[in-house]
Amino acid sequence: MGYHSGKSVNLILGALLCTALCAISAISNAGNVILIIGDGMDDHQVTIARNYLVGSRGKLTLDQLPLRSTAQVLSVDDKNPDRPIYVADSANSATSMASGVATSVGRIGTSAGDDRDLVNIIELARKKGIKTGIVTTASITDATPSAFYAHVSLRDCENPEMMVEVETYFGTIIDCSQDLKSNAGLGSISEQLVDSGVDVALGGGAKHFIPLGEGSDQTVLQLAEKTGYQVVTTALELATKGSGKLLGLFSPSTMPVMWRGEGGRAAEKPVPSLLNSLHWTLGSVTYPEPMDCEDNPEYIGMPSLALMSETALSRLTADDDTFFLMIESASIDKQSHQRKACGSIGELQQLDETLGVALAFAESHPGTLILVTADHGQAAQLVAERTLFSDIPMPVYSPGHVARINTLEGEVMAVNYATNDFIIEEHTGVNVPLLSNAVGQGLVPAMVTQPEIFNIIKSHLLKQKQSDPINRI
């Protein structure tokens, strides 16, 4: 339980990098922006993680940020952009933050209705000579990171082989043929990453760089190396000092999470007795047994989110450059889809440790704006272990799936998943947190919409007024 011991390699490597970072003289890079996104990190997820990691009276690093706001997630209908859709996905919510325009589910950097490319913050930054970086525990071609550098009509079009007639999990055929380079488009997401000029890109997704580039006899990875990227694939390679553009691919797809439920357990359904099955007021209901969180053996050898972020900061500031860095802790969301509370908790711990790295960096680099937020809400509710009706002589229990987790406080924490009764849980439409360090004073109001986060970033990074018009390509 609590903070596990399977991170010694990451800690050693991180210490080496920290030494280098801390040696950088204190300078005022007034435009620096570090945006940290916890995918699916609503207040339920934060509370569950806090209870497990530091106890109900403890404080996460997140809790110590001085500015606390709320972001409203906006989504629109693809055929009628004036019609609101109340629950977003990572693609359109990340596009809101990256480009300042609310779009429809599944779109990456493109507008609903007319399918126009939207100018993103990385494109604006690069025009000003500002360095840029992407760090994620997902594939670097996944929805959230790709929204900051790519433009495709559908998030599934991650490599050249996935552009035409690709089946999703549910049998739907996707088609991004209009985005092919041969059709005057920008190509698949992995190709666009190579073409984007992003200075640092670290995460999973190696499989999306294996196919040949469209119309090329070279793989996307070879094309990346040809354009000047140093490619690393292990934590040890990542810690090697260097300069210039860096591409890190540490897993075929999403990187493994740090923790799992013991034996790989996920939330389970309470089991009613035969008598209760006949009538809801009768018989009894058996809850799943409590579980501990344990180290995930698949995580061994993976670079932590903190280590990847330290490396990115080192590269981006090698010449005292101003920069924009987006960091995503992706599997708060992905593990919640699978009803795996321990995986989500461990991923939120990674975000919290990474925030510590960002805050340490900001201390020696005055004027660095740190924003922490989520792209959308997710399934997972903290529910009563003992219900209000426990003394009534009839079974009363929460619907859906339940994970009962042993905590450091010697209690059992019940986490409920009940957005549907199908194989995966769904997002929710709740507002999400928006937190900032003191540099955000006067920039971050008490409540914003997600497109306004783009304006906050632009205002600080480019020294443009938040009211300046949003351009489209």
Residue 470's alpha-carbon distances to 12, 82, 147, 337, in angstroms, are 44, 18, 16, 34
Residue pair 95/450 in contact (Cβ under 8 Å)? The answer is: no
Residue pair 232/140 in contact (Cβ under 8 Å)? The answer is: no
Virtual CA dihedral for 387, 389, 393, 396, nearest 10 degrees? -60
Rounded-to-integer distance, Cα 426 and Cα 266, Å: 16
Rounded-to-integer distance, Cα 58 and Cα 227, Å: 47
DSSP SS3 for 48: helix
Q: Which of 28, 56, 69, 90 is catalytic?
A: 90
What is the separation of C-alpha 89 from the centre of its chain, rounded to a whole number of angstroms? 12
Rounded-to-integer distance, Cα 191 and Cα 447, Å: 36
**Cα R_g (the chain), whole angstroms:** 22
**Which stretch of DSSP H or E encloses residue 193?**
helix 189-196
Please confirm, yes or no, whether 182 is among the known catalytic residues: no
For the chain, the straight-line distance linking the first and the last C-alpha, in angstroms and rounded, comes to 50
Cα–Cα–Cα angle for 298, 299, 300, rounded to 5 degrees = 95
Q: Indicate the burial class of 216 (C-beta count within 10 angstroms; 0-12, 13-18, 19 or more).
A: middle
Contacts of residue 177, defined as CB under 8 A and 6 or more positions apart, other chains included, come to 163, 164, 183
Residue pair 414/407 in contact (Cβ under 8 Å)? The answer is: no
Q: Please provide residue 340's backbone torsions phi and psi, each rounded to the nearest 5 degrees.
A: -110, 90
Nearest of 430, 308, 338 to residue 46 by alpha carbon:
430
- For residue 27, which amino acid is it? I
DSSP SS3 for 247: strand
Neighbours of 28 (CB within 10 A): 10
| DSSP secondary structure letter of residue 214 | T
| Tokens encoding 332 | 């708060």
What is the separation of C-alpha 295 from the centre of its chain, rounded to a whole number of angstroms? 21
Q: Which residues are catalytic?
A: 90
